[in-house]
Structure 1
Amino acid sequence: MGTGPAVVIGGSGADAHWISLRDRREGVSPAESVAAARAQGAGPVLVEPFSAEDLPLIAERADGTVVGAAWMRDSGLVRAAARLGLPVLVQRDPSATLEEWLEVAGHCVAEGNDGVVLCESGGRTLPGGATPDLALMRAARERSGRPVLAGLGADPALAAAAIAAGADGLLLDPSSTERDVLAAREAVKIVGALTRRETPDSVIAAREAIDRVDAALAVLLERRAELAGTIQRLKPVGGFAGRDADRERRLVAEMARRAPVLGEARLAPIMNAVIEAGLHLAEERRSAPRD
């Protein structure tokens, strides 16, 4: 799995923004397109050129270059983009093999640019979004040792699966809505907290990592409380009178196996508080007046 927080690249509210100059809008110059992307937020702006003529603008005003799937096989343009010295994001052509995809990254390195990130967007599409090949994405990461993003088009539905599969980030369409970006960021936060180990090097970074873990904890605790309430409704004897001390001890022992640093002695009072909170919630709901 990856390390550190995964990123979301896309529209408003994302960690970084990207635009494609291939999608030229009538009456809008490339410079205006880049300026509009820059105005969406404070994050980096990545730009996919339409042709080599766009490279001077990218060198001057962008923070990174996107080698789009449509021109991944244009080695001349790839090498010229790499020579800008900016980070390069290489999207896989749907028909390209893993070896061909990694070869493009090699072209960038040959031009003295080792700041290459791969992006798997897949060849098939679902309504509203792309379907990345997550197995191929993992293989690319393992073979290259480079960060790999999952391109999701305009649909964040696969965001959680992509992060669980080891994606270092998610690439959404530049036109993705703020709601789509928020959904992707939530998947990054919750699933990433469970699957990505972080080694922060500052107090601020450590607190941000803790915030991500706490977010995942909140979701899991809420789910546990709901399931505990279901058990209370099904048990012959519910509430505090129906507590099973032996089961709770086994639960703590099993948790200690997964959290040996905390151990049973520290986990026991934590789980006791969690269990009691669920029981209190179940009792409150049972005694609440019904409409």
Structure 2
Amino acid sequence: MSSTLERHAVAVGGTLVGEGPAVVIGGRVSLRAYRGESDAYEVLGERATLVEPYSAADLPAIAERADAVVVGSSWTRDIPLVRAAAGLGLPVVVERRPAAPLEEWLELADYCAREGDGQVLLCEGGRLDLGLMRAARAASGRPVLADVSRNAALSAAAVAAGADGLVVDSGAPAAGGAVGGAAGGAAKLGTYAGAKAAEPSKSGALEFVGPGSPAEPRQETSPASAMRAAEEAVTVVGALVRHEAPATLPECREAIDRVDAALATLLERRAALAGIVQRIKPVGGFAGRDLARERALVARMALRAPSLGEARLAPIMNAVIEAGLHLAEERSAE
């Protein structure tokens, strides 16, 4: 097992993975989908992000046009190909073989680091074991990716479990167990700063759903829908769970945008719950306010936000509560 416990960050296509915000990597190109019957240069186009070779013959094209090479889960025991891929001088994404234990996964990552330049990321795909992914991140110090191509509804859970990035299939044909690709063009990679909004639910709230939820989408979601789910997860959930230390004004503003997106999502959810309360209470509206409960709420919030304290939180929460009451009254009058 890796003894390297320091936190690492790996640059993939100009984006740092493993520090700061989580990222979305759109498009994993698997040349195995073409079984060696297509020219790798033509498949990759001008540039690609994560590329898995079919054979050693694909490696020159990958070295020239990819941002990172993928050691695929189906051939992690093909040591000659693993060694050759790791030696390209590119960042190496090491997928976990199905049912492989943590020790085997980390040992393979260490092997790739020794054969290459040390820039290695771990990737969990298929039926995601998020607990194992979290353990791999803690034990190795390496960045971890979660391939959510097969079930984008797990995007939020993956970020909450510590994923440094989400991989989303761009919808190219796949075969032989490969996870899709981005044939014919460069894939999208980058942090999502909340500049774009995911599509809202019918109630207007941005929602996440997970396995077992009545709203859980089919696993065969479109690439565009999967991308939106992944982007929203790294924005909203990432703002809550990722530690960031921005060093520049643009980075600070992007971090603030993510926090604001999370705030808006939570405020919308709070307003929806407050509306339910108003329908249940014997006396609703402003006449039914419980000021003692509101003071207790502010006191509890101050424990989580000591730098703001009760004096600053009280007017903020009063405005939030009054906005929710006004909204409830407007809806009841419709």
Q: Settle same-fold status: TM greater than 0.5.
A: yes
Aligned match for 1:170, one of 162, 166, 169: 166
CA distance in structure 1 between the aligned counterparts of 2:281 and 2:317, rounded to whole angstroms: 20
Q: Which amino acid aligns with 2:23?
A: V
The residue number in structure 1 matching 2:84 is 80
For residues 38 and 58 of structure 2, the distance between their equivalents in structure 1, rounded to whole angstroms, comes to 14
Whole-Å separation in 1 of the counterparts to 2:231 and 2:225? 10
Deviation at 1:153, TM superposition (A): 3.0
Q: TM-score, normalised by structure 1?
A: 0.87
Distance, in Å, in 2 between the alignment partners of 1:171 and 1:45 is 10
Gaps of 5+ in 2: 1-6, 8-17, 172-221
Alignment deviations for residues 76-103 of structure 1 (CA, whole Å, 9 cap, x no partner): 2222212211111000110322111111
Contact 2:36 2:54 (8 Å CA) reproduced: no
Determine if contact 1:78/1:104 at 8 Å carries over to the other structure. Answer: no
Q: How does 1:67-216 map to 2 (within 5 A)?
A: 67-121=71-125, 130-175=126-171, 177-216=223-262
Q: What letter is aligned with 1:177?
A: P
Match for residue 22 of structure 1 among 26, 32, 45: 32
Evaluate the alpha carbon distance shift between residue 234 and residue 151 of structure 1 in structure 2; reply closer, same or farther with a 3 A threshold.
same
State the 1:173 CA deviation.
2.7
Deviations 1:157-205 (A, max 9, x none): 1111111111111223341611211111112211111111111111111
Q: Retained in 1: the 8 A contact 2:73–2:97?
A: yes
Give the secondary-structure state (helix, strand or coil) at the position aligned to 2:146.
Answer: strand
Q: Is the 8 A contact 1:4 1:198 kept in 2?
A: yes
Residue of structure 1 equivalent to 2:12: none
CA deviations on 1:205-257 (whole Å, 9 max, x unpaired) are 11111111111111110111111111112222221122111111100000000
Which of 240, 246, 266 is the matching residue for 2:312? 266
Task: Give the conservation status (yes or no) of the 8 Å contact 1:75–1:107.
Answer: no
Q: CA RMSD in A?
A: 1.9
Structure-2-length-normalised TM-score:
0.76
* CA distance in structure 1 between the aligned counterparts of 2:276 and 2:268, rounded to whole angstroms: 13
- For 2:40, the aligned partner's letter is P
Give the match's secondary structure for 2:167. Answer: strand
Deviation at 1:26, TM superposition (A): 8.7
Task: Give the distance between the partners of 1:111 and 1:20, measured in 2 at CA.
Answer: 22
Aligned partners of 2:237, 2:286: CA distance in 1, in Å? 33
Whichever residue aligns with residue 201 of structure 1, its letter is A
Counterparts in 2 of 1:243-282, with a 5 A limit?
243-282=289-328
Would you say 1:236 and 2:282 are equivalent positions? yes
Bigger relative contact order (CA 8 A; separation at least 6):
2
Following the alignment from structure 2 to structure 1, what is the Cα–Cα distance between the partners of residues 61 and 34? 15
Distance 2:152 2:230 in 1: 6
Total equivalences in the alignment: 268
1:112 Cα deviation after fit = 4.1
Partners of 2:147 and 2:168 within 8 A in 1: yes
Change (3 A) 1:249 1:117: same
**Cα distance 1:235–1:95, how it changes in 2: closer, same or farther (>3 A)?**
closer
Secondary structure of residue in 2 paired with 1:65: strand
